[in-house]
Each structure stands twice: as structure tokens, then as C-alpha cells.
Amino acid sequence: MAFLIARPESGVSVSYTGLHGSSDAFAFAQLAREGRPVVIFTESASDAQRLTEEIQFLVPKRKVCLLPDWETLPYDNFSPHPDLVSERLATLYQISQNDCAVTLVPVTTALYRLPPTEYLAAHTFFIKQGQTFDRTALRKQLTHAGYTHVNQVLAPGEYSYRGGLIDLFPMGSTLPYRIDLLGDDVESIRTFDVDTQRSIYPVNDVRLLPAREFPLDEDGQTCFRRNFREKFEGDPSNSLLYKNVSQGMAPAGIEYYLPLFFEHTGTIADYLPDNAVVCLQQNIEGAIAQFWHDTQARYELLRGDLTRPIMRPAELFLSQEIFFSSISKFPRICTRRESSVNEDRARSQKNKRANTSALPDIHIDRRSDNPLTRYVEFVANFPGKVLVIAESVGRREIMSQYFSEYGVPLKSCEHFDEFIDSNERQVLAVGPLHYGFILDEEQIAVITETELYVNFVRRNARRDSARKTSPLSAGSNMTHPEPAAPPLAAAPVALPYTR
């Protein structure tokens, strides 16, 4: 198949327009098939989540990683959930090891200053079956990495010693591990269930990442105290935050003091492989500008608390200039749906158009004698193949029956490559594609439930974690359940479809 977008040379930026619907995911998936790591910076967290699901569907044999956000507002006085920290550390480690074929990062997440790469490398270690080690030395190593000793392991970042058994819940792992010792030798390593404490399956080794994105050992505390005194005026002993860190505790919201734990911080570009291809999705500049506007407003609102002084935004986040400078050495692809490119960057870009088209109006009209009239007319006039995407297996069965009742039988397939290899003209599959599109050269039309059903609402596996940093929304991180997709027999909603 012809490539929608082509990889430029190192240091060169190329802009593409005309990517309709979810064709951007298809274009990125094509890049991933080339073998070089692809890093996509998205305009929003919801775009990152959408592309993660869609690209994994289009290239199931490639590893797709998403670097999640802390899901807190800048300067919040509470810390991110431990599972998020665990996922972030695991993703950063995988990126640094060139273990991700595709990496997705919301651009606002990419603006956060990160621990230097050497911190992650120095605090990551492995335990292998048959290995011999000193139990006391392991305990010190776990404590040095920020792990907490508990009576019963329940969450990432915890460990427990029980005679000849060591229970560990590494950061970045979905399950804890139970290490059975015979003397000083590792006899076996098995995963176990947190609730029942029963073993599940054996493994050969365990990777242990640091428990936090900053060190709380003696060296980390010393560095924090020194930098705290240099940054902030007044007596540090009046600050509860300063006292807690000096005692080896991690107070809520300490993440927004991360630079104080290091001599220097890193950026997301430091973790990227040298041969990576960087993609900038949609209006990255606008998202950065809005983030900085909102963050500066929160800083002005909260900077007056002398008992808990806060760091300046420039000390915590990358400016637009620093961000683009950090990725300038990589080949860059900018994708935009609008036809124009930002004039101040147009000189350094080659502007091209992808060969995709938007679908016409093909929504199901339940008031009509044949609700599929628009769909049938489109297929009759379209010279190529058509793939209809259902959200779930249950929806696929309902849609298959519904289409058959009106004389439109659809063959089923399991994945996208099977559809490409099939000789069937109309095929029905289950997939996470959110929006349809037409590949002009290949004459392939992809249709989703969004085009078929007016006001269709997709039930995401994970809620949109997009940060809304308005000063008035501090602490308002509530999520509300989304309505389920309407059944096929429901009455139509008399509103025009808009994307």
C-alpha cells in the first residue's frame, strides 16, 4: 500500500494536511511498519488515548506505549495515583531501551521536566532465578530505590520479608512477585494475587524500577535541602514540606518540586532513541500556549503561600522554544487537518497533502423505509472495498443482523490485515477506530459507528485524562459516566452529525 506520509531526513520537518477522520492513525501505523521507533506528540490527552487504541488495532504485532499524565493540576497539593507513577516509570524505561515501536505523549505531558536518564538507569536492577545475593544488601537496595517495607504487599512500590520468602510489587508491573529463597539462592519466582495471596504463574526474572520519579535517599534529601534554601527565601524550618523531606517522607504534591532533588533535570527528548521519527499531531503550538497561559495563572494565584512556596513555571516546565529545540535533531512530521500551516514555521517545512478523503453523509435514517439507503447508495457508487467497524463483539452481531434484514450481508473478519487480504467487498470487523475515512489511492473506505449513528457516543476503556488547568478548576478532577451507545432500534435524534 502507498504510504500516506513519508519519513523525512534527520533534522528536516515536513507538514501534511488532508488526513481525515482516523486516517492519521493509519498513517502513523504505516510508519511503524518501517521498523524505526515512532514518537507522536499529540495536541491533547484524548488524542493520545485514541491513537494508542487505533494504532494497536492497525499494527497488532508492534508494541504501542502511552506515557500517561500525572492527572493533577500544576501545583496541586496531592500526588498522582501510584499506578500512574508506576506506568510512567515503566514507559520511560521502555522508551530509553528502544522497546516501543510507537510512543504517544500528550504535548502537555512532554513539557514536564523529568528525572535525568542516569537516575532511572542507576536505580533499575534485576533479580533472576538461580541468582545468589545478600538479603541485607537487597533490603538496602530496595530502600535506596524508594520501596517501602510493609507487612503485606498490596500496591506498587512495596516489599515484604517473610522468612525465606520475599514479596515484591515492582513499579511498572501489573502483578506482584514472590521470591522463594533456598539459603541465599533464588529458587523460584512466581507472580501472585494481591487479594488471595495465591501464586499464579512462574517467571524467570523480575525487573525493579525506582519507586518514585525522584530519590528520597540520603543523597536526594541533601540535594533537596540545598536547592530549597537556594530557591526560596526565609527560614526553611518553617516549611512542613522541608521538614517532611528531611525525615525521608514524601508529602502530597512533592512532584511539583522534582527539580530540587537533582543537580539537573531531563526532558522527554533525552529518553528517545537516536533513530526515532517524531510526529507532531494537530495544533501543538496552540496546546502549549494554552497550557502556559493556564499554568502561569495558577502560579500567580498560589505563589503567596509563604509556608509552602512554589517553584516558578519555567523551573518545572519546558517553554515552547525549549521543547521544539530539544526535538530539532529528529526527523519531524507535522499532521494537520486544516489546509494552512503556521506561517512562522512554514519556511522550515515542506508542505504536502495526504491522499485521503472524508466520508459523505451515510447515517442510518430509522424513519426511512430502508434505513440503510445512504449507505447502500455510497457503496454502489464507490469502486473499492468497504470496512465497517463495530465497537465491540456484541455490537458487531447486532449490526450484522440489522444489515442483513435490509439485504446488506456483511462478511466478518478478525483484524485489519485480514480485510486487506480478503476478496470480499464489504466486511465487518471489531475495532477501536473512532472515525471513518477513505484511502484515495487504494480505494478503501473505513466506516465506523460514528458515521452510521447520529450522536453516537463511544464507551472508552479509559476516561479522558486531558488536563484542564483553569484556575477555577483546581481540585475538580471528577469524571462523569458516559451514556452507552444507543441501541439500533432506538428513535433517531434530530440533530445533524458534526465531528
Task: Answer with the residue of higher pLDDT: 423 or 485.
Answer: 423
Least reliable range by pLDDT among 151-165, 289-303, 333-347: 333-347
Confidence band, pLDDT 50/70/90 cuts, at residue 460: low
Digit-coded pLDDT (tens) for 274-286: 999 999 999 999 9
Kindly state the cell numbers that stand for 306. Answer: 509563604
Q: Of the segments 161-165, 179-183, 408-412, which one has the largest average pLDDT value?
A: 408-412
Report pLDDT for 350: 62
Give yes or no for residue 202 having a pLDDT over 80. Answer: yes
Give yes or no for residue 487 having a pLDDT over 80. Answer: no
Write down the number of H helices and E strands in the chain.
17, 21
At residue 480, what is the residue type?
A: H
CA distance 278 to 284: 13
Q: Which residues contact 366 (CB under 8 A, 6 or more apart)?
A: 489, 490, 491, 492
Report pLDDT for 20: 93
Confidence band, pLDDT 50/70/90 cuts, at residue 480: very low
Give yes or no for residue 446 having a pLDDT over 60. Answer: yes
Report pLDDT for 479: 38
Contact 199, 167 (CB under 8 A): no
> SS3 for 174-196, per residue?
CCCEEEEEECCEEEEEEEECCCC
Give yes or no for residue 472 having a pLDDT over 50. Answer: no
Q: Which residue has the cell 488515548?
A: 49
Mean pLDDT of the residues in the chain: 86
| CATH entry, 125-208, from 3.90.1150.10, 2.60.40.1240, 3.40.1030.10, 3.30.2060.10 | 3.30.2060.10
Give the domain 355-499 fold: Rossmann fold (3.40.50)
Give yes or no for residue 464 having a pLDDT over 80. Answer: no
DSSP 79: P
Report pLDDT for 339: 47
Give yes or no for residue 478 having a pLDDT over 90. Answer: no
Least reliable range by pLDDT among 133-137, 177-181, 207-211: 133-137
Report pLDDT for 183: 85
**Domain ranges within the chain, ordered by starting residue:** 13-118+218-353, 125-208, 355-499
CA distance 475 to 345: 37
Give yes or no for residue 295 having a pLDDT over 60. Answer: yes
CA distance 276 to 355: 24
CA distance 86 to 59: 25
Least reliable range by pLDDT among 48-52, 146-150, 252-256, 488-492: 488-492
Establish how many alpha carbons lie within 13 A of residue 39's alpha carbon, considering only the half-sphere containing its beta carbon. 26
Considering only CA atoms, which of 152, 127, 151 is closest in space to residue 141?
127
Q: Which residue has the cell 458534526?
A: 498
DSSP line for 114-165: B--HHHHHHT-EEEETT-B--HHHHHHHHHHTT-EE-SS--STTEEEEETTE
Digit-coded pLDDT (tens) for 27-45: 999 999 998 999 999 999 9
Helix ranges (DSSP H) in 363-447: 373-381, 393-405, 416-421
Provide the 3-class DSSP secondary structure of residue 228: helix
Q: Residue 134 burial (CB < 10 Å; 0-12/13-18/19+)?
A: exposed
Report pLDDT for 462: 40
Q: Which residue has the cell 539459603?
A: 183
Give yes or no for residue 72 having a pLDDT over 70. Answer: yes
Domains 125-208 and 355-499 are alike in CATH topology: no
CATH level 2 (architecture), domain 13-118+218-353: 3-Layer(aba) Sandwich (3.40)
Q: Which residues contact 448 (CB under 8 A, 6 or more apart)?
A: 21, 22, 388, 389, 433, 434, 435, 436
